[in-house]
Amino acid sequence: MRNWKIIATGGLLILSEYFGPIYAQNVPGQFKDGEKAVFFGDSITHGGWYEYYIQLFYATRFPYRKIQFENAGVAGATATGSLSRINNDVIVHKPDWVYIMFGMNDVGRDNYRTLQTDQKIMDARSGSLKIYKSSMDTTIKKIKDSGAVPVIVTPSPYDQYGRNINTENYTACNDGLAKCSEIARTLAAENKCLVADIHTPITELMIKNTELKLAGMDRVHPDQAGHMVIAYYILQAQKVPELVSEIVIDSAAMTVDKTEKCSVENLKFKDGSVKFTYSPMALPFPVSSEYSKANKIIPWESLNQEIIQVKNFPAGDYRLLTDGKEVGCFSATQFASGVNIAPLTTPRQERSAQIRLAVIAKADADRPLRGLVQVNCILWDAKISPADIPTADKYLDEWLAKVGEQYKKYYTNVIKSYRGNRNILQYLTKKAKEAQDKIFELQKLEPCLIEIIRQN
């Protein structure tokens, strides 16, 4: 079990009691410099944020690493339907890691509308699970054969527990996804590959607090805070470091007793105050509305610890300044325990906020590219080349005419966007690359002056 603490930043309501690493046979490793990670899944990946929050964590925690992240999610996709796009959409990137998350569209949600069942429903449920297992097994083997490392992410839960959600509740759907999760873990063990179980801990959160709405207002698609919860559990599985940095100073001895992931220079004491040059090796994770919301659900701040501890300060209050800007006032007792400056408005937090905006720009640049792949999948399944535009357009019109009214408007807009964006593919690809390059450009570390000044 991981221990964590909130230090002198104000109390936060933590609803989760799940503090340990994700249940896993073999947990995935951390991404290294120069590696590429592809996230392969359905709409929760296609239009989601969890992979981008993982990218944001790495860009700030390991700013000296240049890691490529690729979104390979397709809305409406299943493990079975995605077999045909593995080469064109995943292996083509020559990834080092492939994170695989399917299940929400594989489980057969219509077969879980009620807890009451008959033999026909039971057979349908069993058939869907059998197909899911076979397709996931094939996916894992194809990824391994390509030379990449597959990581199985268990499906995000369906919120059959949530209250005050104005959407029909398929009251047994998450029970089916729990079986998909069990299948995923079994396949990971059989194929000797890695697994990160997000289904178990997030289901526990949903059961404990039925007002969380972690799977959004449709019980399927998490909001941004929900995606941050997913990212948290995957990062926990990777055993990423909790510390941004740590400094321990003894004001009585006028010494630096400890530095971790940083350096301290030009240490000076005067009139009960202290100042020094602080050079960190990492940046804090940026504070945002989704971060604050997620941090009330799970202990995100446990992964965002930038500690300044000063022992033996005379009693009283002390102003904390970074590069001449006051960012807080803390007591000698608080400094003796350690002050977490990660969420404070320091220059490093401001730099992290810039990286967050760059990651959002990368996500926005990826969306139209994913829309192109989404429609290409319809054509690939029909053995039609997207490059044969007359044939492709004729088929798409015929395909759209057969779509049910529930999804007609959605797919009409998807195909309309596709027809506009396919002509500017080169521009969209360049825009996504520029967004990635901007993230790398912002991954810079600079020293700053820390002053802790005793109040009169």
Tell me which residue of 374, 393, 376 sits closest to 401, measured CA to CA.
393
Q: Would 446 be classed as within a structural domain?
A: yes
CB atoms within 10 A of CB 396: 20
Query: What's the number of domains the chain is made of?
Result: 2
Check if the beta carbon of residue 151 is closer than 8 Å to that of residue 205. Answer: no
Which backbone phi and psi does 268 adopt, to 5 degrees? -135, 140
| Alpha-carbon span 46 to 68, nearest angstrom | 17
The residue written with tokens 């007359």 in the block is 390
Q: Where are the alpha helices (DSSP H) in 155-309?
A: 173-190, 199-208, 224-237, 289-295
For the stretch 301-356, pLDDT in tens is: 999 999 999 999 999 999 999 999 999 999 999 999 999 999 999 999 999 999 99
Q: Would 102 be classed as within a structural domain?
A: yes
Q: Would 421 be classed as within a structural domain?
A: yes
Token pair in block for residue 257: 């007793």
Q: How much is the pLDDT for 15?
A: 28
DSSP assignments along 96-127, one per residue: SEEEEE--TTTS-GGGGS-S---HHHHHHHHH
Token pair in block for residue 297: 């659900």
Check if the beta carbon of residue 148 is closer than 8 Å to that of residue 95. Answer: yes
Check if the beta carbon of residue 235 is closer than 8 Å to that of residue 54. Answer: yes
Cα 272 to its chain centre, rounded Å, is 43
Residue 273 exposed, middle or buried by CB count within 10 Å (0-12, 13-18, 19+): middle
The domain boundary residue, chosen from 196, 212, 237:
237
Q: Would 408 be classed as within a structural domain?
A: yes
Whether residues 182 and 260 share a domain: the answer is no
Whether residues 191 and 327 share a domain: the answer is no
Whether residues 204 and 350 share a domain: the answer is no
The domain boundary residue, chosen from 209, 237, 265:
237
Cα 170 to its chain centre, rounded Å, is 26
Tell me which residue of 370, 195, 356 sits closest to 288, measured CA to CA.
356
Check if the beta carbon of residue 297 is closer than 8 Å to that of residue 228. Answer: no
Q: Would 23 be classed as within a structural domain?
A: no
Which backbone phi and psi does 69 adopt, to 5 degrees? -120, 130
State the pairing for strand pair 97-101/255-260. Answer: unpaired
Whether residues 53 and 176 share a domain: the answer is yes
Task: Name the stretches of the chain with pLDDT < 50.
Answer: 1-25
Whether residues 248 and 178 share a domain: the answer is no
The CA-based angle 224-159-184, given to 5 degrees, is 90
Tell me the CB-side half-sphere exposure of residue 228, using CA atoms within 13 A: 23
Which residue type is seen at 47?
A: G
State the pairing for strand pair 305-311/339-340. Answer: antiparallel
Whether residues 165 and 255 share a domain: the answer is no
Range of the domain at 378: 242-456
Whether residues 64 and 207 share a domain: the answer is yes
280 beta partners: 262
Whether residues 207 and 313 share a domain: the answer is no
Sequence-distant (≥ 6) Cβ neighbours of residue 61 within 8 angstroms: 240, 241, 244, 282, 283, 285
- % of the chain beyond a pLDDT of 90: 91
Check if the beta carbon of residue 22 is closer than 8 Å to that of residue 198. Answer: yes
Dihedral angle sign, alpha carbons of residues 217, 223, 226, 231? positive
The domain boundary residue, chosen from 206, 237, 268:
237
Q: Would 27 be classed as within a structural domain?
A: no
